[in-house]
Structure 1
Amino acid sequence: MITEKPRARGRPRRFDPEASVASAQRLFHARGYDAVSVADLTQALGINPPSFYAAFGSKAGLFARSLERYTATQGVPLGAILRPGRPVAEALAAVLEEAARRYAADPCAAGCLAIEGARCDDPDARAAARVLTQGAAETLRGFISGTRPDLAAPLADYVVTVMIGLSTLAREGHGLDRLLATASLAGTVFERALGD
């Protein structure tokens, strides 16, 4: 005797793109873009490959959406830190301290998703990440140039370099105390350079 499984009542579970982007963001952040396959993503999201491509276009397309979400929810809030009238040395030190805190917040997904993504092998994903990292550098330059245009480019480059280092060290397992010590040391460089 063959019996059919009874069908579940009600509507089938609805695909939630925003929840899927959040899940993908965690996966990309934990493993890195290059180590995550489309199969990993479809399994994590509970969808089949055709549905994946229909919803996101490509792995790089989903990564770009993940980067947008990361920036909005976990990225360093440059706009809030780089307030007009705030002393430049103080503000730049605060950026690095906040970066250290955020990069070490989750040991399973340490570092900065955008910074790490800017080094991946896929040109489309790398370009999406670099839009964010270059945007952050421009924001830093713009803030510094308000009072010290002569130092805007080198100081912004220095901050970005330290942020890249903090992200790398966080991914290698350095704890918050070590990252904050590095950020604090960089703060003394700002004080000397700016005389604040």
Structure 2
Amino acid sequence: MTTEKAGSRGRPRSFDKDRAIETGMKLFHARGYDAVGVAELVSELGIKPPSFYAAFGSKAGLLACALERYAAGDANIFGRACAEGGSVATVIHRTLMLAAETYPEKGGVAGCLVLDGARNSSDPEAYQLAKAARTASGEAIRDFIVGEYPARADELADLVTIALAGMSAAARDGAEEAALMAFANKISRAFRREAETI
């Protein structure tokens, strides 16, 4: 936690960087990166713009922190699925089911921040940050699949990552959990069929 001084008396004003990251993460997730301005962020946090820029450098700097926080938490559905162990097909099925459970709208937030938070951003830095996060996620899935299916890891990973992207977009468009669960089960069966095809 850092402290900034306000006014001539030097009264301390608390600035909680962790809270700022959490706030940014939720706003970017709910409305998309471009729809959230620095003025709104500093107002929400009760700080002045210089404190914001000193902490993050830019709005994109806050996005970088938010993406890191998001990937380290429960939103990392692939990480959660891997933690429970099992075969590749089992973990992929669990990942898809967690996506179906996690992505539908809850409290004004839907979909996946990594997949959709800055997809159409006009800010090149933000776009590249989100793209790098998506790439890292896809590579983690591919690297896991290669342990059992080295010859087909790329195409099987594509099946999963494209399905997750579609589920996130559908959730942001209002798809409910039941529909996403049905889709996730179909993709899981398709994954098993494809994985077993030589």
Q: What is residue 193 of structure 2 aligned with on the other side?
A: 192
Q: Is the 8 A contact 2:25 2:63 kept in 1?
A: yes
Letter in structure 1 aligned against 2:73: T
Letter in structure 2 aligned against 1:48: K
Normalising by structure 1, we get a TM-score of 0.88
Change (3 A) 1:81 1:109: same
Per mean C-alpha deviation after superposition, the further-off stretch among 143-152 and 80-89 is 80-89
RMSD (Å) for aligned C-alpha atoms:
2.3
Q: What is residue 65 of structure 1 aligned with on the other side?
A: 65
Give, in angstroms, the shift of residue 118 of structure 1: 4.6
Q: Is the radius of gyration larger for structure 1 or structure 2?
A: 1
Give, in angstroms, the shift of residue 100 of structure 1: 1.7
Q: What is residue 50 of structure 2 aligned with on the other side?
A: 50
Change (3 A) 1:20 1:83: closer
Q: What is residue 32 of structure 1 aligned with on the other side?
A: 32
Q: What is residue 23 of structure 1 aligned with on the other side?
A: 23
Q: Is the 8 A contact 1:74 1:102 kept in 2?
A: no
Identity rate of aligned residues, in percent? 43
CA distance in 2 between counterparts of 1:49 and 1:83 reads 40
Q: Is the 8 A contact 2:74 2:80 kept in 1?
A: no
**How is 1:153-172 mapped onto 2 (pairs within 5 angstroms)?**
153-172=154-173
User: Is 1:146 aligned to 2:151, yes or no?
Assistant: no
CA distance in 2 between counterparts of 1:48 and 1:193 reads 54
The answer for unaligned runs of 5 or more in structure 1 is: 1-6
Letter in structure 2 aligned against 1:145: V
CA distance in 2 between counterparts of 1:46 and 1:127 reads 29
Secondary structure, in 3 states, of the residue corresponding to 1:14? strand
1:168-196 Cα deviation digits (max 9, x unpaired): 01111111111111111101101211239
CA distance in 2 between counterparts of 1:40 and 1:163 reads 30
Q: What is residue 94 of structure 1 aligned with on the other side?
A: 94
Q: Is the 8 A contact 1:110 1:171 kept in 2?
A: yes
Change (3 A) 1:84 1:69: closer
User: Is 1:126 aligned to 2:127, yes or no?
Assistant: yes
Letter in structure 1 aligned against 2:125: D
Number of matched pairs = 189
Change (3 A) 1:52 1:163: same
Give, in angstroms, the shift of residue 105 of structure 1: 5.8
Normalising by structure 2, we get a TM-score of 0.87
CA distance in 1 between counterparts of 2:73 and 2:140 reads 18
Give, in angstroms, the shift of residue 54 of structure 1: 1.2
Secondary structure, in 3 states, of the residue corresponding to 2:86? coil
Secondary structure, in 3 states, of the residue corresponding to 1:147? coil
| Structure with the bigger percentage of strand | 2
1:115-157 Cα deviation digits (max 9, x unpaired): 1135122111111112221111111111111111111000101
1:10-53 Cα deviation digits (max 9, x unpaired): x5331111011111111111110011111111111111112211
Q: Is the 8 A contact 1:76 1:95 kept in 2?
A: no
CA distance in 1 between counterparts of 2:191 and 2:97 reads 13
After the TM superposition, list the runs of 4 or more consecutive aligned residues in structure 1 that deviate by more than 4 angstroms. none
CA distance in 2 between counterparts of 1:43 and 1:84 reads 41
